[in-house]
Chain A
Amino acid sequence: MKFSSIRYLTEQGIENIWKNRMMAFASFCVLLVSLLLIGGSILAYENINSVVGGVEEQNEIIVYMEDGTPEEKLKQTETLISAIPNVGQVQFRSKDEEYLSLKERMGEYDVLFDALGDDNPLIDSFRVKVQDISQMNKTISQIQQLENVMQINAPYEFVSFLIQLRVLLTWVMGTLIAAMIIVSVVIISNTTRTSVYARREEIHIMKYVGATDAFIHVPFFIEGMVTGFLAGCGALVITWLVYTTVVDIIQNQVVVMNIIGIGSIIPFHQIYFPTVFAYLFGGALVGAIGSAFSTRKYINV
């Protein structure tokens, strides 16, 4: 195919949007709504996931060491804990530090501390943060095998709840997103089919005058791609406006932010590029493929 023909077909595809503006508008609206539904679901999932992840990060394992463990052994243990694959962060808390901290926090109970005299009843410990809480039990058993480890405290029940919540969330949101995609594909395919059906006569004429399949496909393909791209632009603008507004509202709710953790809500600038790419590329791709598939049916003349 000559370059002039490709240019002509591209122009035809763009012109056809205007010439068949009612059907093009219907396709645009369907694509826009579909992209918003899918995009919105994915963004909601990502944020809920981030909130759960934030809550997870706040959980830590406390590893108590045997009283009187020499400093060298403590340093060795810290190195060994840090070397465990699932361990994210290890912080040593000496019994002296803990004692001072406790005294500060319980300033009104001076009498109790006076009674203890110079004795420090606390023991050295490590605060360990795990990367993947679903692997926490395995990590604990690995730490337990280390020398001089006396006891490990971990929020087992809460972690178990978080794991279940994440599994549930993945299933619910995954099903919802899959359903949205299926519904969208069905609606888009029907809309493009209706649009192409309205122009089946045009396709037949093209075939009778000797047009190749590619010659017939290209304008429809371009038309679908441009319509999809425009729908992607629309969905992007709407998402940006709604998302930033919702994030602003949530971030102004101090109580809510305290529960879910500051930084758990993903700011738009952080997801700007993937969102722009997904909407524009996704819209253009779905529009183009939808048109191409719908045209195929009427091309066998």
Chain B
Amino acid sequence: MKDVSVTYSSGVDALEHIHLKINDGDFAFVVGASGAGKSTLIRLLLKEIDATSGVITVNGYQLNTLKKKQIPELRRTIGIVFQDFRLISTMTVYENIAFVMRVIDSPVKLIRKRVPYVMSLVGLQDKANAYPNELSGGEMQRVAIARALVNDPKLIIADEPTGNIDPELSYEIVELLRTINMQGTTVLMVTHDHELVKRFGGRIINITGGQVVYDDIMEGTADEI
């Protein structure tokens, strides 16, 4: 991101002159208070909104010049995990994950091989036929992570993935994301849970008032333990 600003039609400056570079293989926490501009940042990266000014490049796609019909292509290189899981309630765990591979026209054989593998990675191999309403919050978030992971994206964006689950389960989710990161996937995790950030450490990007006020590496307390 080079000198990126976003001003909404209401006149609100959501982001101001942001310069940000996330390297391949990074694991970064994006922190900040509500309304600081974190969500706007995610929406920009997903090309849900356009920047008012500046240049954004995501996974090799120049978003400023990206055509509407190329947006699905961009999004297929990104895995997204939401705070509220956003699973399709009428689909089983298996179907929710397989569906993402269907979207990119993956061969059925590959889907049958890859989905069980990803489910085992997140520890849900026994829940293949369960529906989202039969799962706990932590399990639902694991399904969401499996769904984000299944197409082997370059980047996973996790938007407050621990917001709706217990602290103990939150650690498990972050651990899971870090394991995924260690295998080479870049992970950008948005959170306002300072305890979690302190515990795990790593690259911290603090957005306040639409500006990056801190961007550095911090050691986590979990490492000390």
Contact = CB atoms under 8 A, between A and B. Distances in A.
Interface of A: 1-2, 4-5, 8, 16, 19-20, 201-202, 204-212, 215, 301
B163 interface: no
A210 B108 contact: no
A2 B105 contact: yes
B177 interface: no
B103 A202 contact: no
Given A4-B108, A201-B86, A208 B46 contact: yes
Contact of A8 (B76, B86, B87, B102): B102
A5 B102 contact: yes
Contacts of B99: 209
Contact of B103 (A2, A20, A206, A301): A206
B105 A209 contact: no
B60 interface: no
Contacts of B108: 4
12 contacts: A5-B102, A20-B90, A201-B86, A205-B87, A207-B72, A209-B76, A209-B103, A209-B147, A209-B151, A210-B73, A211-B72, A215-B103
Contacts, number: 49
Interface of B: 46, 48, 69, 72-76, 80, 86-88, 90, 99-100, 102-105, 107-108, 147, 151
A204 B86 contact: yes
Contacts of B104: 210
Contact of B88 (A2, A8, A205): A205
B80 A208 contact: yes
Contacts of B48: 301
Contacts of B151: 209-210
Contact of A5 (B69, B74, B100, B105): B105
A209 B105 CA distance: 12
Given A210-B76, A211-B72, A212-B103, 16 more contacts: A5-B105, A16-B90, A20-B90, A202-B90, A205-B88, A207-B72, A207-B75, A208-B75, A208-B86, A209-B75, A209-B76, A209-B151, A210-B72, A210-B73, A210-B74, A212-B69
A275 to B, nearest CB: 36
Contacts of A2: 105
